[in-house]
Structure formats: structure tokens, C-alpha cells
Amino acid sequence: MNHIYIHEMMTSRVDSVDVATCLSDVVSKMCEKTRSCMVVTEQINGRGHPVGIITERDMVRLLAEHLREQEATDIHSISEYMSSPPICINQHAVLYEALVITQTRNIRHLPVIDDDENLVGILTQGDIARAHFRAIEKQRDIIEHQIKERTRELLEANEELKALSLQDSLLGIGNRRSMEVDVQFTHANAARYKRPYSIALLDVDCFKMYNDHYGHQAGDDALVQVTDAVKEVLRSSDRLYRYGGEELLLLLPETPVNDATYVVNRVLENLRVKNLPHCKSPHGRLTLSAGISSDCQGSKACWTDVVAEADEWLYSAKESGRDQLGYPAGPNVKLAIAKR
């Protein structure tokens, strides 16, 4: 899938409307052309830059509001109803990136932009499904040929197929590879639209001692229970990944550091309530240490800087006694800690 590029599978004849267009005109155009979406653009230097997207879901929401009101309304600009900012993808991205982005965000339409952020096409769920099917068919043909020809090369191909997985097989959450794609995309999008996001690193305390005492199978079961406890209190927009070993990475889009602190403290408290036994821990139960870091309006050059800072605060939490959150200094954050 790393050899299938977005520009090879996108729909290049994309319908777009100017941001000043009346909503009724957009609806008429969607009906006339039987389109499931319209990309909303703003003219900059004679080129259309995507600033939003009107989808069938937006139309359903609008209809529901209208039916509730049961009264005539003025004609509004589509900027009042569009989903903004749009989640866009570069035409040189690969299929794997498109799969991660659409799956984690539960969206069906991706406006495609060039390196200057000009609209050049749109990628739909159907386009991705067809390309994914072609990739699977191609890989299957290769595997069938290798079965007959070279057993060694077949095993290598099977390992490559495993690497294409989006999920960790034990915990049922995103794996390290898909995490890197999602965080990198989130960082670039946050910088482009001047939006905040946060990252939290969560590490199971004294996990080696747990494995040594209870056994590795029990250790795997404990990781599953801890992961489930984390997922129970997350918001629908939060995304959880296995960062490595007993360490999890929590991606919090559109979330400044104060709100991230509140979410992570809820996670830690929920695990405390579970009271999962760990007789070799000073706390007598399974606990998590955490570190958070936030990026606001693209202040950090790279997403790895955000992760590195979260790792530093995680180390600080470990050094301070575990079962707690390490957090950036600042009165607002300290207040959020105090209110947990």
C-alpha cells in the first residue's frame, strides 16, 4: 500500500463551491449532480483553497434542526453549516495514510490538496475501498506465486502483511505504526489551522515485577484490563495506541493542556477504582504513571518533540512515586490537578 499514491485513486473532477454561496444553491447543486458532498473553497490568488466541506451528514443535521423549529428561516451562508476546518490529505500521500485518517476520524470524504494547499481532487470511501481491494488482490497473487516458487520469499511477504496491520493484536487498539501516521497528521493539521492538541504517555508501574511474579500470560491479561480501564473514560474524539511494551500513547485532538490534564486524571482514577491486585507494587495494585505534553498553534517543530516532552513528564511522575501525572508547570494546569 505504500506504493499506491493518493493522486492515482482520487476523483479528480471534484465539485466545489465558494464560501459565500447560499445554502439553497448548494443543496440544489448536490441534488442536480447527485453528489454526497461539496467542498467549500476560498479563492486565494485565483486558486480554490478548501476551508470546509458540506456532506450528506450536514444536510441531515440541518433538516433535523428545521423540523424541530417548524418555521421559515432566512437563507444562510453555507459557512454556518459546513464542517470546518476540513480534514485534507496531500495528493502524494499513500493509501495506508488515507486508511488511518478515515478510520480514526470516521469520515467518508477527504479533499485532496497539492503542496500549495490548492484543491485538486477528493478521495471518497469508495475510492479507498477499491484501492484497498486492488492492493489485497495484488498481494494475494504475489503470495500464490511465491507458494509455488519460493517458500522463503512467501514468509517474508507474510511478515510484510502483518506490518500493514492498523491494530495491536493483543490490546485491540492502534499499533505503533498507525500511531505515527495519526500523530504526524494531527500535528500538521494543528499547525495549519492553528489548533491545539495534546499527547499523554501512560506506563504501567512495576510491570516487570508483575510479570516475574504472576507470569507472562497473566501480564498480557493485566495489560488488556488496564487498556480497557483507560478506554472506559475516554471521549469519542480521543485515540489510544500501544506505544511499546506496557506503554500506551493517548492522542487528544483539539485539546489544550488543562483539558488533557483532566482527561488523564480521570484515566488514573478509574484504574485506581478497579483495584487490580499487584502484590509486588508499593501500592498493592496495578497503577499507571503518565506524562502529558501539548502543542498549541504549531509551536513545536515536529510531533516527536511533543512525544519527547510527554516522556520527560512521565519520567518525572515515576521519580515522584508513580501512580500520578507528570505535567508542565503553570498555574492553570496546577489548578486542574488540584480539582481532580
Largest CA distance in the chain: 71
Which portions of the chain are predicted below pLDDT 50? 330-340
Domains 6-128 and 186-338 share a fold: no
What's the CA gap between 314 and 312, in Å, rounded?
5
- For residue 102, the SS3 value is helix
Going by C-beta distance under 8 Å and a sequence separation of 6 or more, which residues neighbour residue 91?
5, 6, 7, 10, 112, 113, 114, 120, 121
Q: Is the pTM of this model over 0.85?
A: no
**What Rg do the C-alpha atoms of the chain give, in angstroms?**
23
Spatial strand order in the sheet of 37-44: 16-18, 37-44, 47-55
- Residue 31 has a pLDDT of 82
Domain 186-338 sits in CATH 3.30.70.270:
yes
What's the CA gap between 20 and 332, in Å, rounded?
39
Strand partners, 133: none
- Residue 339 has a pLDDT of 37
- Residue 102 has a pLDDT of 87
CATH architecture classification, 6-128: Roll (3.10)
The tens digit of pLDDT for each residue in 308-330 reads 999 999 999 999 999 999 876 53
Q: In the chain, what are the domain boundaries?
A: 6-128, 186-338
- Residue 7 has a pLDDT of 83
- Residue 36 has a pLDDT of 80
What's the CA gap between 208 and 212, in Å, rounded?
6
